[in-house]
Amino acid sequence: MKRKILLTGGGGFVAGNIISQNRSRNIVEAVEQREAAITGENLTWHILDLQDSAELRHLFHRVKPDVIIRPSLIVGLLLRVWQSCPSFPCRAGRLRIT
């Protein structure tokens, strides 16, 4: 069964990679403030300002996502951990991303 994923910042680097790796496994509902050039099977774009709570609530009710992914939050948290922890695996040369 395909999951419906609501992906914010769809035009960004991390979100773009999530979209390209999807390969029709899931239905992606991507949110961006402006049109993005990325296309794909099972991909729908929603032009929306995430700070507009009424529009965001309307989108949630219409899309009914199974999963919400907000890459900017994930990247921001990792950056804070990396900056505050000298023994973080990446700084110590032990983190390998494939």
List the domains of the chain with CATH numbers.
Answer: 4-84 (3.40.50.720)
Whole-number pLDDT of residue 1: 80
pTM assigned to the model: 0.67
Under 8 Å CB-to-CB from 44, ≥6 apart: which residues? 27, 28, 29, 30
Q: With a cut of 70, which residues of the chain have pLDDT below it? A: 73-98
Is residue 28 within 8 Å of residue 22, measured between CB atoms?
Answer: yes
CA-based nearest residue to 6, from 34, 46, 40: 46
* Distance from C-alpha of 79 to C-alpha of 68, rounded to nearest angstrom: 21
Whole-number pLDDT of residue 58: 93
